[in-house]
Chain A
Amino acid sequence: MNAPAAPLSPYSSALGKSNVETHTLSVLVDNEPGVLARVVGLFSGRGYNIESLTVAEVAHAEHLSRITIVTSGPPEAIEQVGHQLERLVPIHTVTDLTLRGSAIERELAMIKVCGTGGNRDEALRLADAFRARVIDATTESFVFELTGAAAKIDQFVELMRPIGLVEVSRTGVAAMSRGKDPM
């Protein structure tokens, strides 16, 4: 008695019609084996979206890691994501930074561009305009380092594409609330 996927189901109709929003969640977790798998497994198991995910230890002595997740969905689903994350035992706090107001969000990217002649000059000029740094150079290539909001990186990558874009590596979003208070 397996039901086919979503659209036929009246059970999902109440949730399905809302607007899709993008939220950034900051999740403080115990830095222990498997904790990332729990978080990621929760998203895949319950059908939530992950647009970006970053994780690193932020307090060595306390073994705390901070996971920043950019997720999208109807507001009700995003509220559920938060509550479901809170159920996980090794999780300390879950903060929806988007609900808390305009959080600061930054991403780091490395962008490799190959080319000669005029394209090299154009690449350097654009990099200067975006305040991207050259962190590796050969006679035929540059690797740029660029930090900024995700949209700024998207824009830079698009500009580099016709000039000789070879490869992009992005960290995903790190985020923090504005003002004096911690999350």
Chain B
Amino acid sequence: MAREMTGAEMVVEALKDQGVDVIFGYPGGAVLPIYDVLFDHQHAIRHVLVRHEQGAAHAAEGYARSSGRPGVMLVTSGPGATNSVTGLTDALMDSIPVVCITGQAPTHLIGSDAFQECDTVGITRHCTKHNYLVRSIDDLPRILHEAFYVAQHGRPGPVVIDIPKDVQFARGLYSGPQNIEHKTYRPKLEGDPEKIEQAVSMMGAAKRPLFYTGGGVINAGPEASRLLRELVAATGFPITSTLMGLGAYPASGKNWLGMLGMHGTYEANNAMHDCDVMICIGARFDDRITGRLDQFSPGSKKIHIDIDPSSINKNVKVDLGIVGDCAHVAAALLDRWRARGLRADAAALKKWWAEIGKWRARKSLAYKNSSKVIQPQWAIERLYAATKGRDCYITTEVGQHQMWAAQHYHFEAPNRLMTSGGLGTMGYGLPAAIGAQMAHPRALVIDVAGEGSILMNIQELSTAAQYQLPVKVFILNNEYLGMVRQWQELLHGGRYSHSYSEALPDFVKLAEAFGAHGIRCDDPADLDAAIAEMIETPKAVVFDCRIDKTANCLPMIPSGKAHNEMILPDDEDLEAEIDAAGKALV
């Protein structure tokens, strides 16, 4: 049943019809008609006024990743759109469903270099899954609903809808999202049954099998994580995961090897290198995972399950590619594994686990603790101990602290870690925490940060204050852009060019200036009490945790090296490990 209304009203109607109850945005000239309509719908749609449009994008991401629902943002034309670009690119790289509505100069001014005009669809073409410039009110309802469909279906991603101001004022007929089936975009959900049989046969014959899972499992919904756990239990195979997939299989699970990749565990990386059947589910053989490609898991048959056909054989040639949704394919694998009465080769698996046990015994995440200086790993461990069992969501910024959080905070459930994996965006964590807190008002949301990253979007503390969001910013402050410093130590002979965080603000006073609570801790003996104070404070907290300034994030696969050439914490000469070709890599 079509109803007549303005374009701006259509936007708000469509948001309501799509079940959106929170949006993140910043008003401006080209979106004023939509903001005017929002004024009358504040009970249905909560608008969170961010302090920078990049914050809106990351908040929408944090909301989406912690809730499984699409994140929605609303920004104005020109700078509103361009400020969103980093967040949109981040969502594209990490496959996060975000719908971004941008205002645009009125259609008759497009192309005239009007005030706050930019070619939004041109600029965002490369950093969105799809984008639309709505030139006619007649197209607006379809595009609004299509955008939500495209953002969420298949491999999720950001979608931009650029709406000229005159289209927002124009009147037209609105109809709801019924019968939304895209005419060309129909992702394949079910895996090819023949290939499922082949995969199950390969798994049954495996001597040294390994599950390698990623963010695709989390994107496929909680059912996918449940099925993955069942599959691991049914087969008894070991499992590792990318940064993006942490929590899909619980860190306390007995088959868990820890995260793999550049800062993954010794056991996970060696198992990747030596396995004979690799079952990759919803991961994409990213360069942080594979290390040196021509020595990547040389002896294994590889099964790759992904909803995006272009991910298969992109970086690594696999033996069996299955296009489909992780949940559907995991269910099919489990079904066929049971129906055929397959069992893992118990003797071989026992031997394999024994080998893994030897790698585990190297204790690659070990570190030397100190009673004088807070070690970053220990700080994360204490944070984990204090929040264990609570309804807790962790976001991170990007750098050493991010990897320490991934290594030492143990994720038990999916959707609990929000981190910028693909793009590696410093400044992601605080706005993402705001998004997660909006989705989960009663939960404990902690942004594990570095003193460098946090300053990139520190203005969002003001957003947290306005909406009384009790997000906790836990800064591992080593007064260095730590990962840069670490690479300079490893690759550039300790020439610490511009990586020292000079002229840092007083984070406690900064917190107070923003209406938040500030805590500083530099004594290991005080840490537990300080963390408890942070958790118990019913408003936003900035925790300046002063840590060892020279701690490196280990273990590490040096660039250009293979999985079985890791630097472990007890290795002496870090620099000698990296050759010229490796130094050229990021």
* A residues in contact (CB < 8 Å) with B: 1-4, 8-14, 30, 33-34, 37-38, 41, 45, 76, 79-80, 83-84, 86-92
**Interface pair A89/B150, CB less than 8 Å apart:** yes
**Interface pair B125/A92, CB less than 8 Å apart:** no
Q: Which 5 A-B pairs have the closest CB atoms?
A: A83-B310, A89-B130, A8-B584, A83-B309, A1-B586
- Given the complex, which residues of A lie within 8 Å of B290, measured CB to CB? 11
**Interface pair A89/B585, CB less than 8 Å apart:** no
**Interface pair B309/A4, CB less than 8 Å apart:** no
How far does the Cβ of B493 sit from chain A's closest Cβ, in whole Å?
16
**Interface pair A80/B310, CB less than 8 Å apart:** yes
Say yes or no: is B292 at the interface (Cβ < 8 Å to chain A).
yes
Closest residue of A by beta carbon distance from B488: A1
How far does the Cβ of A43 sit from chain B's closest Cβ, in whole Å?
12
Given contacts A34-B121, A76-B317, contact A11 B287 (CB under 8 A): yes
Q: Which of A9, A14, A38 contacts B584 (CB 8 A)?
A: A9
**Interface pair A41/B294, CB less than 8 Å apart:** no
Say yes or no: is B456 at the interface (Cβ < 8 Å to chain A).
no
- Given the complex, which residues of A lie within 8 Å of B185, measured CB to CB? 89
Closest residue of A by beta carbon distance from B135: A33
Max chain B C-beta neighbours (<10 A), residue from A1, A2, A38, A79: A1
Which B residues between 285 and 330 are near A, CB-CB below 8 angstroms?
Answer: 287, 290, 292-294, 308-310, 312-317
- A-contact bits for B151-190, CB 8 A (1 contact / 0 none): 0000100000000000000000000000000111100000
**Interface pair B310/A87, CB less than 8 Å apart:** yes
**Interface pair A80/B313, CB less than 8 Å apart:** yes
How far does the Cβ of A54 sit from chain B's closest Cβ, in whole Å?
21
- Given the complex, which residues of B lie within 8 Å of A8, measured CB to CB? 580-581, 584-585
Number of A-B contacts (CB under 8 A): 77
CA distance A8 to B583 in the complex (A): 9
**Interface pair B585/A11, CB less than 8 Å apart:** yes
Say yes or no: is B521 at the interface (Cβ < 8 Å to chain A).
no
CA distance A91 to B581 in the complex (A): 39
**Interface pair B310/A3, CB less than 8 Å apart:** no
Closest residue of B by beta carbon distance from A1: B586
Q: Apart from A45-B126, A86-B310, what 14 extra A-B contacts exist at CB < 8 Å?
A: A1-B487, A3-B586, A4-B584, A8-B580, A10-B560, A11-B292, A12-B293, A13-B293, A14-B293, A14-B294, A30-B184, A34-B125, A87-B308, A90-B184
- A-contact bits for B175-208, CB 8 A (1 contact / 0 none): 0000000111100000000000000000000000
Chain B interface extent, by class: 35 or more
- Given the complex, which residues of B lie within 8 Å of A13, measured CB to CB? 293-294
* B residues in contact (CB < 8 Å) with A: 121-122, 125-126, 129-130, 133, 135, 150, 155, 182-185, 287, 290, 292-294, 308-310, 312-317, 484, 487, 560, 580-582, 584-586
- Given the complex, which residues of A lie within 8 Å of B293, measured CB to CB? 10-14
How far does the Cβ of A75 sit from chain B's closest Cβ, in whole Å?
10
**Interface pair A10/B294, CB less than 8 Å apart:** yes
CA distance A2 to B491 in the complex (A): 13
CA distance A84 to B155 in the complex (A): 13
Max chain B C-beta neighbours (<10 A), residue from A2, A30, A80, A89: A89
**Interface pair B184/A89, CB less than 8 Å apart:** yes
- Given the complex, which residues of A lie within 8 Å of B317, measured CB to CB? 14, 76
How far does the Cβ of B439 sit from chain A's closest Cβ, in whole Å?
27
- Given the complex, which residues of B lie within 8 Å of A45, measured CB to CB? 126
CA distance A80 to B292 in the complex (A): 21
Given contacts A9-B585, A84-B310, contact A41 B126 (CB under 8 A): yes
Max chain A C-beta neighbours (<10 A), residue from B129, B135, B155, B585: B585
**Interface pair B125/A38, CB less than 8 Å apart:** yes
**Interface pair B581/A89, CB less than 8 Å apart:** no
CA distance A2 to B581 in the complex (A): 13
Closest residue of B by beta carbon distance from A42: B126
- 24 CB contacts below 8 A, A to B, read A3-B585, A4-B584, A8-B585, A9-B581, A10-B293, A11-B292, A13-B293, A13-B294, A14-B315, A34-B121, A38-B125, A76-B313, A76-B317, A80-B314, A86-B310, A87-B155, A87-B308, A87-B310, A89-B130, A89-B150, A89-B182, A89-B184, A90-B184, A91-B184
